[in-house]
Copies of this chain bind each other. A is one copy, B any other.
Amino acid sequence: MCRWVAYRGQPVLLSSVITEPSHSLIHQSLHALEAKTETNGDGFGVGWYGEHHEPGLYKELRPAWGDENLSHLARQIRSKLFFAHIRAATGTATSRANCHPFSHGRFMFMHNGQIGGWSRLRRSIEAMIPDELYNDRQGTTDSEAIFLAALAQHAAKDPAGAMGRVLSEIVRLMQAAGITQALRFAAVMADGRDIWAFRWSTDLKSPTLYWKQIDGALIVVSEPLDESPGNWRMVPEGNMLMALGDSAPVIKPFMVEMPRAVA
């Protein structure tokens, strides 16, 4: 499974969240002992809002812990809203274009999970992306396809509704194709000001999603970054976290209309 962290708060150096804490994202990817899965080494990415209205992205395939470029960038880039993601590939190629986060205009997205039967459904899920967005598709992941499809569903105006419609349609396609594997989804999206994080699955086994507030900042993670997990709150299965403007984060149900199973 992938691991990631999202930060929103007073502008801080990326290093304070990504590389420095004893259980930073880098540390996690290196010592992924607690996890029962593979280590996370299929590329990583960092996205941040800074000098430009569109987020900056830095992606690399060598392991994050040995990348001097990342060390330098983490202690030079200060941002009030940034994402970092370490990828564990699930069948698709290891390439920069397949690394998270993905961006489009001012939007940024990253994801942990899987679409059951992706290799069979790729074509029909990509068909959910309209022509004007399709040419921006750079890689071959399900994650990027979900993101572009959500943008087409007006994620800019109604992120939760758009994401719910996309997942609902994907489940419909899975059912139509007779796929019995699950769809599991934990993701976070931002527009430079607001953050939305989602946790949902068809088998109630969503990837984990935690958050905490500290010194006025919001941190959303796939797994706790430090050893006091008591401070981290879990977003429950089937819920979402919404942090608009300077408001406190709100947890509320994330509605995905389940299509009636094909008889």
Contacts and interface: CB of A to CB of B under 8 A. Distances in A.
A41 B38 contact: no
Contact of A76 (B30, B48, B134): B48
A137 interface: yes
Interface string A57-85: 11111110111110011011110000000
Interface stretch (A94-102, A153-161, A168-176, A241-249): A94-102
A67 to B, nearest CB: 7
Interface stretch (A118-126, A183-191, A209-217): A118-126
Interface in A19-56: 30-33, 38-39, 41-43, 48, 50-52, 56
Contacts of A131: 120, 123
Nearest to A74: B56
A140 interface: yes
Given A30-B38, A66-B94, A95-B96, A56 B73 contact: yes
B51 A59 contact: no
A135 interface: yes
Contacts of A30: 38-39
A143 to B, nearest CB: 16
A13 interface: yes
A65 B135 CA distance: 20
B75 A73 contact: no
A89 interface: yes
Contacts of A258: none
A138 interface: yes
A225 to B, nearest CB: 18
Contact of A58 (B43, B66, B73, B97): B73
Given A48-B76, A56-B73, A67 B94 contact: yes
Interface of A: 13, 30-33, 38-39, 41-43, 48, 50-52, 56-63, 65-69, 72-73, 75-78, 89, 93-97, 119-120, 122-123, 131, 134-135, 137-140
Given A41-B63, A57-B68, A97-B140, 12 more contacts: A30-B39, A41-B66, A51-B77, A56-B72, A58-B69, A58-B72, A61-B62, A61-B66, A63-B63, A76-B77, A97-B97, A122-B135
